[in-house]
Structure 1
Amino acid sequence: MAAAMTEKISFFDELELVGHAPDGVEGVAMIKQENPDLVLMDIQMPHMDGIDATLQVKSFAPHVKVIITTVMDDNEHIFHAIKAGADGYLLKDADPGMLRDAVLEVMEGGAPMSPNVARKALTLLRTGAEPERHSSDRDLLSSRETEILKELSKGSVYTEVAESLFIAPSTVRKHVENIYKKLQVHSKIEAIDLARRKGLF
């Protein structure tokens, strides 16, 4: 994606590319460092997908505009990208002119979307139905890990979680480490937010 986007951006002098990253983790780190006005975010990336990366970016830099640029146009990805805070959603077949218009529109407060995506987004809005989660999401955490995360979401500390579930604090800590690895997050707040967004509890 990076090479294709770089080529499209190069057509327009008013758009300056400050960097690109090979995966979501590096992308989030680069955004923290560079503080760009706007990010073109792919969904399919190693280590952290674009939806989770968007959620993280919006948590520490809500002013940064994020346009999803992807081949994924199914209801599930559209719904979760918008819910994560994406400001626009373009399919990768968008030509350079459409990309430029989308960038200018989003910087003026708009929400650019490819026509097919816009139709699906409106349908989701009208029906109010959240797309069904994939089984991979439902099975992401074990029942014990889900219990622990629920307790943490209530504001409980490790010792309180341990007492509530009749396990040792060290066991709670180990489960939390596994939760972080499975969800690819680095803090309790991120884990809780992501688990809620995925409908894990």
Structure 2
Amino acid sequence: MTWFNNAFLPSIGRKRPVLLILDNHVTHLSTYAIDAARHNGVDLLFFLSHSSHLLQPLDVVYIHALKQKVADMSVDLGYYGIKTLPRKFFPKMLMQSMNRLTGLTVSSSFSATGIYSFNKRAVHALEFNPSSCASQSRAVNDGNEPEERQTCDSCGHAKDNILVKMGLVSADLAISLVEPPKSKQIGN
């Protein structure tokens, strides 16, 4: 909320509505954030779980380019092979690398993910596979369901789509229409 109120809102100008795209980490889902966004004319769009490596612009293009700039600078300074860059030099090198990336790199990040300009074919193969979660699953029963369901420890999403089981969503929409993760705490 501090970032939203003190950094995001002052930087977006007055034209509304504004779209804010977030990964769907449980910390981004709070009644305070949703109410504040609604009050300020900000529409929220959340990435599917386990898809930010395909859809998040910084992950897809910008971070890759930044890593390459840091690696190139390291080699130029003679740090390669077994000779590693001392930690005390890294912050300055990172800042210089970031300053060498252009606005074109940032805009191509959004283009590569199909966000702007909109291109639904930019990401060719989006595979959402809850069983591929790195962490172990745990059984959850919130008292409203007759049986326990397996959920991902890292994101909280159900391994099986209860909306499909209930007949509310067809199986072909199971990837994109998922129930929100279970959380013991609301708000952050």
TM-score between the two structures when normalised by the length of structure 1: 0.27
More contact order relative to length (CA 8 Å, sep ≥ 6):
2
More helix by share: 1
Structure with the greater alpha carbon radius of gyration: 2
TM-score between the two structures when normalised by the length of structure 2: 0.29
